[in-house]
Amino acid sequence: MPRPLQDQTLPGWFSNPVRLAVGLVLALHLSSCREETRVERATREKILLLGNGAEPKALDPHLVSSVGDSNILRALFEGLVTYHPENDSLNEPGVAERWESNADFSEWRFYLRDDARWSNGDPVTAQDFVYSYQRILHPEMGSPYASMLYFLKNAEAFNRGDLKDFAEVGVKAEGERVLVCTLVGPAPFFPDVVKHTSWLPVHRGTIEKFGKMTDPYTPWQKPGNHVSNGAFMLTDWRINAHVKVRKNPHYWDAANVKPNGIDFLPLESPFTEEKAFRNGLIHLSYSMPESLIGEYKALPDSPLHIETYAGSYFYRCNVTKKPTDNADFRRALAYAIDREVIVKYVTLGGQTPATAFTPPSEGGYQPPKVISFDPAKAREYLRKAGYASGAEVPEFTILINTLESHRNIAMAIQDMWKKNLGIEKVKIENQEWKVFQQTTQDLNYDVSRAGWIGDYVDPNTFLGIWVTGDSNNYTGWSNPDYDRLMRESSHLSDPAARYAKLAEAETVLMDGMPILPLYWYTRVYLLHPDVRNWHPLLLDNHPYKHIDLIPSGEGGSL
């Protein structure tokens, strides 16, 4: 029996009590004799049903920063360069057909395709990109991710309000089809950077129909008003219920867009998501309860996927405060942690024990193998730090944000420091997320939990935050050698030479040890076999237009 239409906002029988009662009975009846699950039907209609973590904060590329939000934006918008479906260190042409740089990678020219269209049919021009970059960088916009555009010459000064004339910022349109970006310095990886959501264009006419360029929160983002230039366009958005996007008929490559649409479902609890997956309500989950990983692993043809993810879990050390101001003491802490035990018995998601900060990428950057579990070495460093035994170490605290999994890791480490170094007085303190952020940013901690996810594939997205003056450092650590090596690396065109230089910089970082790397992330999720062309990606930024839905039950091979 067919179920009610998908696109209603409320069930039809919602409006009056009699029909409600009938609906109740009907719902019982329908679900007991239903022939196809929601997922099976969606596969037939080629609609991808996707668990997407938390409710999106906005659908404006200049306002958002979370992973879930950028998933939706990637479906709605297309940047100059886009992600390759199989390898996210490769670049696919987006609005730009091709691009080139000058000899030292400080000036980039993007040649825009002439058939790129907004979802209302308007052409996408180089001026649209200039307008968008002016908008995100405008001081009155207060865009949280504006710093991603600091690669452009004078962008930071304009964003801070020190420079009033946007014409001096390093982005120009030459005619309708050529966009020229002049950078603050060489950046061989620049095409990787412009794939990020903060570099997506917005439609000027739409923005200004609902307010000034810099009005951040106008109704332009609502269905009906929203105009985008990607493979999909916004058709429905209901808070905490769904964001629905459907094929954009004006998209230049519309003929090759495989799905007819995507429903992004904000199921924040991993347990609910897992049940929704089992119940045939979603094709793909955003996360997975750790406690069920083992059970799923044991299944034949398991829908469980565990893939490397460009993220690093680590502890920050406050180098401005005793006892963590002593580098030998920090080294002692680092070598006394058995990371194998943590990933094997605590985190359970197949994570890789970290040997440095930056996660390795296949065929790309390999971080130095500095850190290991070596209790003898750890004790030696403890002595060098001036402590005859762990008992002499003054009390200090591991600060975590309130979450069971962080606490479990902290407890394991507390125990390892006790066992391997004899440090008795380690406290664990949890703070609620916003308070935790404040405490960490104010350097009011001793050791603080942290995670860092790459914004783009290049190791610069990881190593860049430890350069002196970077706003994400929060450790008080700074090293002129490190800054010099990072600067030198940006002038190297040959990837191998550049990676070698970056590895040298990372060795300096690991020698200073302002952070205790713990493990490199994995993405653990459930994937329905109907979903095809879904490949493991380091940043997990899937270009949805390539994803196909084919019933796996009907002779489709897995």
Partner 1 sequence: MDSLRYLLSRLAQSVFALFCIITLTFFLARLAPGGPFLDEKKIPEHLVEQMKRNYGFDKPLPLQYVRYLGLLLQGDLGPSFGNKGFTVNEVIAEGFPVSFVLGICGLAIALAIGIPVGVMAAARRNTALDYSLMALAMLGICLPTFVIAPLLGEIFALKLGWFDVALWENSSAWILGAVTLGLYYSAYIARLTRGSMLDVLNQDFIRTARAKGVPPLTILFKHAFRGGVSPVVAFLGPALAGLISGSFVVESVFGLPGLGQHFIKAVTNRDYWLINGTVTVLATLILTMNFLVDILQAWLDPRTRANR
Q: Nearest-CA neighbor of 311 among 458, 522, 543, 510? A: 522
Toward partner 1, which CB reaches closer, 214 or 352? 214
Q: How far is the CB of 535 from partner 1 (least distance, A)?
A: 27
Toward partner 1, which CB reaches closer, 14 or 345? 14
In 194-279, the DSSP E strands lie at 232-238, 242-247, 261-265
Backbone angles phi, psi at 464, to 5 degrees: -60, -25
Q: How far is the CB of 470 from partner 1 (least distance, A)?
A: 9
The H or E element that residue 385 is part of is none
d(CA 421, CA 404): 25
CB-CB contact of 408 with 428 (8 Å): no
Q: How far is the CB of 204 from partner 1 (least distance, A)?
A: 18
CB-CB contact of 469 with 446 (8 Å): no
Q: Which amino acid is at 341?
A: V
Q: Nearest-CA neighbor of 455 among 315, 314, 311? A: 311
Toward partner 1, which CB reaches closer, 147 or 397? 147
- Residue 10, C-beta contacts closer than 8 angstroms, at least 6 positions apart: none
Toward partner 1, which CB reaches closer, 98 or 238? 238
Toward partner 1, which CB reaches closer, 3 or 84? 3
Q: How far is the CB of 261 from partner 1 (least distance, A)?
A: 15
Half-sphere exposure of 521 (CA within 13 A, CB side): 20
CB-CB contact of 317 with 475 (8 Å): yes
Q: How far is the CB of 142 from partner 1 (least distance, A)?
A: 4
Toward partner 1, which CB reaches closer, 34 or 384? 34
Q: How far is CA 35 from CA 3, 40, 236, 521, in A?
A: 10, 10, 27, 39
Q: How far is the CB of 420 from partner 1 (least distance, A)?
A: 30
Q: How far is the CB of 237 from partner 1 (least distance, A)?
A: 9
d(CA 341, CA 416): 10
Toward partner 1, which CB reaches closer, 3 or 487? 3
Q: How far is the CB of 276 from partner 1 (least distance, A)?
A: 4
d(CA 107, CA 124): 22
Half-sphere exposure of 510 (CA within 13 A, CB side): 21
SS (H, E, C) 421-473: HCCCCEEEEEECHHHHHHHHHCCCCCEEEEEEECCCCCCHHHHHHHCCCCCCC
Strand duo 426-431 + 232-238: pairing: unpaired
Residue 317 pairs with which residues in a beta bridge? 447
Toward partner 1, which CB reaches closer, 196 or 379? 196
- 377-381: list long-range contacts, CB under 8 Å, 24+ apart: 377/335, 378/331, 378/332, 378/333, 378/334, 378/335, 378/336, 378/420, 378/421, 379/332, 379/336, 379/420, 379/421, 380/332, 381/328, 381/329, 381/331, 381/332, 381/335
Toward partner 1, which CB reaches closer, 253 or 268? 268
Toward partner 1, which CB reaches closer, 66 or 355? 66
Q: How far is the CB of 518 from partner 1 (least distance, A)?
A: 16
Q: How far is the CB of 217 from partner 1 (least distance, A)?
A: 5
Toward partner 1, which CB reaches closer, 4 or 185? 4
Q: Which two tokens stand for residue 403?
A: 């979450």
Q: How far is the CB of 294 from partner 1 (least distance, A)?
A: 18
The single residue listed with the structure tokens 């390999």 is 366
SS (H, E, C) 484-538: HHHHHHCCCCCHHHHHHHHHHHHHHHHHHCCEEEEEEEEEEEEECCCEECCCCCC
Toward partner 1, which CB reaches closer, 57 or 344? 57
Q: How far is the CB of 455 from partner 1 (least distance, A)?
A: 9
Residues of 526-546 as b/e, b for ≥16 C-beta within 10 angstroms? bebbbbebbeebbbbbbbbbb
Toward partner 1, which CB reaches closer, 21 or 391? 21
Q: How far is the CB of 283 from partner 1 (least distance, A)?
A: 13
